[in-house]
Amino acid sequence: MIEKRFTCVLWLLAVATTSVCQAENWPMWRGPRQDGISPERDLPIEWSETENVAWRLAMPGVAPSTPVIWDDKAFITSTDRDSEDILLICVDTDGIRHWKRRIGRGVSEQEDKDNLAAGSPSTDGEHVWTMTGDGTVTCHDFAGNRTWQFEVEDRYEKIDMPWSMASSPTPYEDLLYIQLLHLNSSRVIAVDKTTGAEVWNVERPTDAEGKCLRSYATPIVYRDDQRKYLLTQGQDYIVAHDLNDGRELWRCGDFHPRSGYDPMMHISSSPVVGPGMILVPAGNQGNFQVLRPDGIGDVTGDPNYRLWNDYISPKRPSALLVDSLVYICRESGVLHCLDAQTGQEHYQRPIHRSTHHASPVYVDNCIYFVARDGTVTVVKPGVEFEIVATNKLDDTISASPAVSGGRVYLRGFKALYAIEQQ
């Protein structure tokens, strides 16, 4: 118990340190720690088309990707309905487009599923990395100069992925991590973030079948005072990899429904890490698991490493861990609140009866849930269910929110919105 409390304290100190260093930045999908948590304060909980909108910038095409923000620059990927280009767009945080660059090309103006601009950018304050849905990986500097680029299919297997790849590149220290889990590949790679040169690539063994070979998840870095490693999820397993050489440290399976193996179950949401635990989602009707981070080898079903599990599937949105509570928003808009240590359910309530693809964010003691119909429901955290605000924009939104500089950024199919208390 003392060891667990010590780990939690160190984790919270790490989060606090990260928050101080990156309080104004949202450098990758779901933020600095890929957990959807922001230290910002005094953000609006209510807005409309005309209230608390600092600016609205029209987008050239649709995309479910999240903007990333560093200081006074925001970066977003997009399709272009006129040219059929896939774009990286740089926007000043005053709402003025600074530049745009072509990062790919292809017919991609589809709205119901992922498209070639589905992956979110990532940045370290000097570089911006992108990966298109057909596997073009590119690095730009903040001035818009392309510093390197390569095609996944030139180095590795041909991509076979309905609705395109949607995973975002994950930078950590000197490397950029990418998972290539699709119908024709079971591979994870790391490249030098400044040159694009391969540092390592590993085959990721799997016995998955059918659509289970498809993973749209993003690699997540786990780190605490004792360990750090890369997590990749898909093809029936979550796998922990050594950050330096990609070797497998541990893996866990058993994500299928109670009824048995479902060859139609693929992974769209990503893991979430917290103090001494890893929240691991599953596909439709699958087995959501909360694991300890100190596994060795195959820990599937091992009660020494699994804190709890439940057959609650978010399907698309990733989970959220706030203090001692886990929030799982199903694609249907039903919210589950559970105890993080035991899995005891505190409530199960609908927040908004519409499709939810975006992952929630926690900021200033509020949780923001975004539905595809442009409705954002703001919920108070805690064991009692309470909606504090419901907001609506005339747009379709599949992207997860970004939070930086006192603003919530929402990427709709029509426009990018900067929501700010006026």
Pairing label, strands 297-298, 248-252:
parallel
* Rounded Cα gap, residues 401 and 157, in angstroms: 32
HSE-CB at 364 with a 13 A cutoff on CA atoms is 17
Q: Domain locations in the chain?
A: 2-420
Burial category of 10 from C-beta neighbours within 10 Å (exposed 0-12, middle 13-18, buried 19 and up)? middle
Decide if 125 contacts 71 (C-beta within 8 A): yes
Which of 272, 234, 266 is closest to 253 using CA atoms?
234
Q: Which amino acid type is present at position 219?
A: P
Which of 54, 92, 101 is closest to 73 using CA atoms?
92
Four-residue CA torsion sign, 136, 140, 144, 150: negative
Task: Report the predicted TM-score, pTM, of the whole model to 2 decimal places.
Answer: 0.93
CATH architecture of 2-420: 7 Propeller (2.130)
Which of 182, 246, 244 is closest to 217 using CA atoms?
182
Decide if 210 contacts 264 (C-beta within 8 A): yes
Which of 165, 140, 170, 171 is closest to 152 using CA atoms?
165
Torsion of CA 270, 165, 163, 257, to 10 degrees: -30
Decide if 114 contacts 160 (C-beta within 8 A): no
Per DSSP, the three-state class of 333 is coil
Decide if 123 contacts 129 (C-beta within 8 A): yes
CA separation, residue 158 to residues 155, 161, 185, 281 (Å): 9, 10, 8, 27
Written as one string, the DSSP assignment of 323-381 is: TTEEEEE-TTSEEEEEETTT--EEEEEES-SS---SPPEEETTEEEEE-TTSEEEEE--
Structure tokens, 319: 């989970």
pLDDT at residue number 162: 84
Q: Which alpha helices (DSSP H) does 262-399 contain, by range? A: none
- Sorted by sequence, the CB contacts under 8 Å of residue 21 that are 6+ apart come out as none
Which of 131, 105, 106 is closest to 118 using CA atoms?
131
What strands lie across the sheet with 170-172, from one edge to the other?
Answer: 170-172, 175-182, 185-192, 198-203
7 φ, ψ (degrees, to nearest 5): -60, -45
pLDDT at residue number 4: 43
Q: Which amino acid type is present at position 307?
A: L
pLDDT at residue number 17: 40
pLDDT digits (tens, 9 = 90+) for 92-148: 999 999 999 999 987 665 555 678 999 999 999 999 999 999 999 999 999 999 999
pLDDT tens for the chain, residues 1 to 422:
434 443 444 444 444 443 334 447 999 999 999 999 999 999 999 999 999 999 999 999 999 999 999 999 999 999 998 998 999 999 999 999 999 999 998 766 555 567 899 999 999 999 999 999 999 999 999 999 999 999 999 999 999 998 789 999 999 999 999 999 999 999 999 999 999 999 999 999 999 999 999 999 999 999 999 999 999 999 999 999 999 999 999 999 999 999 999 999 999 999 999 999 999 999 888 999 999 999 999 999 999 999 999 999 898 999 999 999 999 999 999 999 999 999 999 999 999 999 999 999 999 999 999 999 999 999 999 999 999 999 999 999 999 999 999 999 999 999 999 999 98
Q: Around Cβ 161, how many Cβ atoms within 10 Å? A: 23
The fraction of the chain above a pLDDT of 70, given in percent, is 93
Which of 349, 352, 384, 344 is closest to 368 using CA atoms?
352
pLDDT at residue number 111: 57
* Rounded Cα gap, residues 210 and 263, in angstroms: 5
- Sorted by sequence, the CB contacts under 8 Å of residue 138 that are 6+ apart come out as 88, 103, 129, 130, 131, 146, 148, 149
Which of 109, 88, 210 is closest to 160 using CA atoms?
210
157 φ, ψ (degrees, to nearest 5): -75, 155
Structure tokens, 104: 């790919």
Four-residue CA torsion sign, 349, 29, 416, 366: positive
Which of 200, 179, 180 is closest to 190 using CA atoms?
200
Structure tokens, 98: 């600074």
